[in-house]
Amino acid sequence: MVKAERPEPGLLPRHLAIIMDGNGRWAGRQGLPRLAGHQAGARTVDLVTTECARLGLEALTLYSFSSENWKRPADEVDALMTLCQAHLVDQRARMIENGIRFRRIGRREGLPTSVLDASDACEEATRHCPGLTLCLALNYGGRAELTDAARTLAAEVAAGRLDPESIDEAALEARLDTHGLPDPDLLVRTAGEMRISNFLLWQISYAELVVTDVTWPDFGTAELHAAFEVFAGRARRFGAIAPTADG
């Protein structure tokens, strides 16, 4: 049983990113339809978000629906969008109560109006919340995000508003969906797959990676705290050489 304690400062990431995987496999093992897995996964979103807010993390980014997920069967995509819209509506008051600021990242184009309206309403309602920033990646792809940022820079140069010689990493970063947030220092992937799936390609350059075989619906506070323990034990060198005991 994990104690509901607040770990020491410095032992937690500032920004946790999670690739939420395994909803369908979880449902299959239970003899349930895939939608039941996604519904169970939505409950895990609430649990993990609440715990991250309680612990004082600055940001939590969840990979909810990738730009590649449109390849899934149409009925599953429709069900996912309906679930997303309903969940955003249902959780808005809870976000405000817990001081959570909501932010959607990913391309708007292609998302149903109902989802966009619900996410926009959440962003507006939680705009001044002082705690955790919850980023929900919807219709998101890391390559698409970088392409959009490059296109924005090119347009600003063409319009004469930006000197091309002034373009550096900070200029590109300022045009990413996650601008203003610290880069994730911990990336967790559930359900055991060893890949990053086009997620936050720029931002996770120095993130610590933790992969668990636990599927997303079964991922609870115990698994979350276990990932934080792994993170706390990592030596983060950022390309430098670790200091030796004798200096």
Give catalytic residues, as residue numbers.
21, 69
Neighbour-count burial for 95-121, b at 16+ CB within 10 Å, e otherwise:
bbebebbbbbbbeeeebeeebbebbee
Structural tokens at position 197: 């799936």
Characterise 83 by phi-psi region: left (phi > 0), alpha (psi -120 to 50), beta (else).
alpha
E runs forming strands in the chain = 15-19, 59-66, 101-105, 133-140, 186-189, 208-211
What residues does 103 pair with on adjacent strands? 135
For 135, phi and psi rounded to 5 degrees? -105, 125
E runs forming strands in 38-190 = 59-66, 101-105, 133-140, 186-189
